[in-house]
């Protein structure tokens, strides 16, 4: 899973449960082919219409003596470019980064030519040169956007000193001082850089969020496939049990009738032993929680909170880190019963995976339940969260601990657990007599919401 602006995504928190394949992070995809030709040509047609309208109104409506022929020639160049693009590319075609930047650069130069003929930076429409920069910042690479910014500033610098003045009336025309022109140039230059940086930042965040949601959907889809495969295994175990029993009974009867020294007897004993082994394997598949379905009426559809958390922790246990799960009931209420759902398993599993990754030696999971609240607290003895990222943790790809990224894992966990009614918070815990300082993640659910989601409200163990 990659984002759209050219860097690699972090690998935090993408492991599937029960042997599900890890959602591997691939090199970030190129921006080539990201720009729609239809969009660029539509924007240029709108600009052409506006330019022609302004020229006609000023020349023939206000009666100003503009160099109308050269101005219309500059507009015609944009018309010819649009027509050439229509013949060169299909309407639904997409342009590469360099080609799109070249076309936007043409728009800048064409508008600069019009401004040269109509007053330069004293023309109120001079700020329109920011348009191509805004388009580039949202869809093109930083290099292409920087090149367009440099082109805009260069054109503005040229227009500040050389241009054909507007034909103001001798009595009513304003005399604009050079300081005003310099201020307009500064506004264009600063606005170009600011708009490019701001638009690129907003667009990049939107792409990151879109890619993070896609990664979340991929993780959840893999969990659902694993659950469906488990349901299929349980059904197969049930359906195959009867034929295997028939084979076992038949071979047992044949063994009674065949003499012990008959060569066939050895084959029959082997067949009977193998049929018994197959029955044991199928029975084990039917008993395993991770092979059971989660549909209505299926075994293991819902289970105690502690059992489900142990199931989520199972794929992440390793010899390096000791994982301890503790129950801490607070007011004597029975342990809640929770649905065996991919959202719960993968959300809690991502938190546990990150804790195991950054822990020094120990990870503690504390399960607390009250009459109205259920809380799961995951704490490790690692270096904790960096102070600079605690305020923005949960945003995709931006948080890190110890130089390693975990923003995507926390984001996926937060998104999936929200589907079950859970609220996630992160902090650095202080050292106590029994535990050192480290990172701590709290997941809190309203008990009624969690048990209603499981379809087991009112059921207790």
- Asked whether the predicted pLDDT for residue 140 surpasses 50, the reply is yes
**Would 181 be classed as within a structural domain?**
no
At residue 299, the pLDDT reads: 47
Residue 90 banded pLDDT, cuts 50, 70, 90: low
Give the angle 36-37-43 at the CA atoms, nearest 5°: 95
- Asked whether the predicted pLDDT for residue 70 surpasses 60, the reply is yes
| Token digits of residue 223 | 């969990």
**Would 421 be classed as within a structural domain?**
yes
| 306 shares its domain with 286 | no
At residue 363, the pLDDT reads: 92
Q: Give CA torsion, residues 218, 224, 227, 228, to 10 deg.
A: -120
**Would 146 be classed as within a structural domain?**
yes
- Asked whether the predicted pLDDT for residue 408 surpasses 80, the reply is no
Tell me the pairing of strands 423-429 and 35-36.
unpaired
Q: What is the dihedral sign for C-alpha 237, 242, 243, 247?
A: positive
DSSP bridge pairs for 432: none
| 53 shares its domain with 73 | yes
Full domain range(s) for residue 367: 302-454
| 280 shares its domain with 326 | no
How many domains does the chain fold into? 3
- Asked whether the predicted pLDDT for residue 227 surpasses 80, the reply is no
Mean pLDDT over residues 135-157, rounded?
87
**Would 279 be classed as within a structural domain?**
yes
**Would 50 be classed as within a structural domain?**
yes
Whether the CB-CB separation of 119 and 166 falls below 8 Å is answered with: yes
Least confident of 225-229, 255-259, 410-414, 434-438: 225-229
**Would 435 be classed as within a structural domain?**
yes
| 428 shares its domain with 376 | yes
| 165 shares its domain with 246 | no
Whether the CB-CB separation of 445 and 387 falls below 8 Å is answered with: no
Choose the final residue of a domain: 269, 291, 313: 291
At residue 287, the pLDDT reads: 55
| 284 shares its domain with 141 | no
- Asked whether the predicted pLDDT for residue 209 surpasses 50, the reply is yes
**Would 207 be classed as within a structural domain?**
no
At residue 417, the pLDDT reads: 84
Q: How far apart are CA 185 and CA 411, in angstroms?
A: 43
- Asked whether the predicted pLDDT for residue 134 surpasses 90, the reply is no
Q: How many CB atoms lie within 10 A of CB 30?
A: 13
| 253 shares its domain with 342 | no
| 51 shares its domain with 130 | yes
**CATH code where residue 441 lies:** 3.30.565.10
- Asked whether the predicted pLDDT for residue 355 surpasses 60, the reply is yes
| 153 shares its domain with 87 | yes
At residue 26, the pLDDT reads: 39
Task: List C-alpha distances in Å: 340 to 11, 69, 148.
Answer: 26, 75, 54
Q: Give CA torsion, residues 170, 176, 178, 182, to 10 deg.
A: -140
| 411 shares its domain with 307 | yes
Choose the final residue of a domain: 255, 271, 291: 291
| 326 shares its domain with 283 | no
Choose the final residue of a domain: 260, 291, 322: 291
At residue 297, the pLDDT reads: 43
At residue 379, the pLDDT reads: 92
| 328 shares its domain with 423 | yes
Query: What is the rounded average pLDDT for all residues in the chain?
Result: 75
Residue 231 banded pLDDT, cuts 50, 70, 90: low
**Would 256 be classed as within a structural domain?**
yes
φ and ψ at residue 290, rounded to 5 degrees: -80, -5
- Asked whether the predicted pLDDT for residue 395 surpasses 80, the reply is no
The 10s digit of each residue's pLDDT in 284-333 is 665 544 444 444 444 456 788 888 888 888 888 888 888 888 888 877 78
């Amino acid at each position: 899973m990659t984002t759209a602006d050219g860097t690699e995504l972090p690998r935090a928190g993408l492991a599937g449960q029960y042997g599900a394949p890890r959602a591997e992070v691939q090199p970030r995809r190129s921006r080539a082919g990201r720009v729609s030709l239809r969009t660029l040509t539509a924007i240029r047609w709108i600009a052409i219409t506006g330019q022609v309208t302004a020229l006609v109104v000023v020349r023939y409506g206000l009666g100003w003596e503009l160099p109308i022929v050269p101005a219309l020639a500059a507009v015609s160049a944009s018309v010819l470019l649009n027509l050439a693009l229509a013949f060169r590319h299909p309407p639904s075609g997409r342009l590469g980064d360099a080609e799109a930047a070249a076309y936007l650069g043409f728009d800048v130069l064409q508008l600069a030519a019009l401004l040269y003929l109509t007053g330069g930076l004293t023309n109120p429409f001079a700020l329109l040169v920011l348009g191509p920069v805004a388009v580039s910042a949202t869809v093109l690479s930083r290099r292409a956007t920087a090149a367009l910014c440099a082109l805009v500033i260069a054109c503005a610098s040229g227009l500040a000193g050389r241009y054909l003045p507007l034909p103001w009336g001798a009595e009513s025309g304003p005399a604009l001082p050079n300081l005003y022109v310099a201020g307009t140039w500064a506004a264009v230059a600063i606005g170009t850089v600011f708009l490019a940086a701001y638009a690129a930042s907003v667009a990049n965040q939107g792409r990151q969020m879109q890619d993070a949601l896609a990664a979340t959907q991929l993780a959840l889809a893999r969990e659902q496939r694993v659950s469906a495969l488990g349901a299929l295994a349980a059904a197969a175990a049930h359906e195959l049990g009867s034929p295997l029993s028939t084979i076992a009974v038949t071979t047992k009867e044949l063994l009674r009738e065949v003499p012990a020294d008959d060569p066939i007897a050895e084959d029959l004993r082997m067949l009977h032993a193998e049929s018994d082994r197959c029955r044991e394997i199928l029975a084990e598949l039917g008993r395993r929680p991770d092979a059971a379905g989660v549909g209505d009426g299926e075994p293991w559809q819902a289970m105690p909170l502690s059992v489900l958390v142990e199931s989520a922790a199972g794929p992440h246990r390793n010899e390096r880190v000791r994982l301890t799960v503790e129950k801490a009931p607070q007011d004597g209420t029975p342990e809640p019963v929770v649905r065996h759902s991919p959202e719960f398993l993968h959300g809690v599993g991502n938190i546990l995976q990150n804790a195991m990754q950054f822990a020094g030696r120990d990870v503690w999971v504390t399960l607390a339940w009250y009459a109205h609240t259920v809380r799961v607290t995951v704490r490790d003895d690692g270096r904790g969260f960096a102070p600079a990222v605690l305020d923005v943790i949960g945003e995709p790809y931006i948080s890190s601990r110890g130089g390693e990224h975990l923003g995507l894992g926390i984001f996926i966990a937060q998104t999936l657990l929200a589907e079950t009614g859970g609220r996630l918070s992160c902090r650095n815990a202080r050292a106590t007599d029994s535990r050192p300082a480290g990172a701590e993640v709290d997941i809190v659910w309203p008990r009624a919401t969690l048990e209603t989601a499981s379809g087991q409200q009112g059921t207790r163990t």
